[in-house]
């Protein structure tokens, strides 16, 4: 596999993982880098004539500059907007890591960078015994953490960073994403995160639900990401 892979996780669900993952894709593509993306398992999908489609996976597909089939970007899609392991169980489907491996390999061989977005938080389950953290460890890929800026984010961010490191994976950087327009003491919270997370902050996205995707991409400190690891 030729690609450098990054696993985008978050402090919780709804914190902006797709926003950041798509921005990473656009930022890398703007530099002429071949970038693919993947949402291995997604729930909350809509039935279309082509089959179940997930809004996050479609956003990644639109942001990447490597051509791929939807099924490669999102191998497992489930309709209910519930935890993926529950959705899979209700659908009578076992999430097979070998299926995910094949999609990952096809995307990786075509790209220089592969952005993999999880679902929910870092420890969100995939089945009775494994979760997204196990998938990242299975692929041994570095992690980018999206911190949803709201009350409680300090604890969630530090616990997640600690769990990533305990699994022997590298936290390549983190992005602060505004999700609560009433969040108090923003500057103080950002300072605390910068002081307590050793990985570099790759960007701050203020609360702006309709922000231009290319503007978000330009707001990423891509040089800091590239400096923290070699592009293979």
- SS3 for the chain is CCCEEEEEEECCCCCCHHHHHHHHHHHHHHCCCCEEEECCEECCCEEECCEEECHHHHHHHHHCCCCCCHHHHCCEECCCCCCHHHHHHHHCCCCCHHHHHHHHHHHHHHCCEEEEECCCCCCCECCCCCEHHHHHHHHCCEEEEEEEECCCHHHHHHHHHHHHHHCCCCEEEEEEEECCCCCCCHHHHHHHHHHHCCCCEEEEECCCCCCCHHHHHHCCCHHHHHHCCCCC
Residues facing residue 38 across a β-bridge? 116
pLDDT of residue 2: 66
All domains in the chain, ordered by first residue: 4-36+97-227 (3.40.50.300)
Q: Rounded distance, CA 88 to CA 63, Å?
A: 27
Q: Rounded distance, CA 201 to CA 46, Å?
A: 34
The CA-CA-CA angle for residues 150, 154, 160, to 5°, reads 110
Residue in 26, 39, 150, 156 annotated catalytic: 39
pLDDT of residue 211: 93
pLDDT of residue 1: 47
Catalytic-residue membership of 17 = no
Q: Model's pTM, two decimal places?
A: 0.95
Q: What is the mean pLDDT of each run of 10 residues along the chain (232 residues)?
A: 88 97 97 97 96 97 97 98 96 97 97 97 96 98 98 98 97 98 97 97 95 93 80 42
Q: Rounded distance, CA 107 to CA 72, Å?
A: 7
| Longest CA span, the chain | 49
């Amino acid at each position: 596999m030729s690609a450098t892979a990054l696993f985008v996780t978050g402090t919780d669900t709804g914190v902006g993982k797709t926003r950041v993952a798509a921005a990473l894709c656009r930022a890398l593509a703007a530099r002429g880098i071949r970038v693919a993306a993947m949402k291995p398992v997604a729930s909350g999908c809509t039935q279309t004539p082509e089959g179940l489609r997930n809004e996050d996976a479609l956003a990644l597909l639109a942001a990447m500059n490597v051509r791929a089939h939807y099924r490669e970007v999102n191998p497992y899609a489930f309709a209910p907007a519930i935890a993926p392991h529950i959705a899979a169980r209700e659908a009578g489907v076992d999430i097979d890591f070998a299926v995910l491996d094949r999609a990952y390999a096809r995307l990786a061989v075509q790209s220089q960078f592969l952005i993999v977005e999880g679902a929910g938080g870092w420890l969100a389950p995939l089945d009775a015994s494994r979760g997204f953290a196990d998938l990242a460890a299975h692929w041994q890929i570095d992690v980018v953490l999206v911190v949803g800026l709201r009350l409680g984010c300090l604890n969630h961010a530090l616990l997640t960073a600690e769990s990533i490191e305990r699994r022997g994976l590298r936290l390549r950087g983190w992005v602060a994403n505004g999700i609560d327009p009433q969040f108090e003491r923003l500057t103080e919270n950002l300072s605390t995160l910068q002081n307590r997370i050793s990985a570099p902050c790759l960007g701050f996205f203020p609360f702006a639900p309709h922000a231009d995707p290319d503007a978000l991409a330009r707001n990423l400190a891509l040089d800091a990401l590239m400096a923290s690891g070699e592009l293979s």
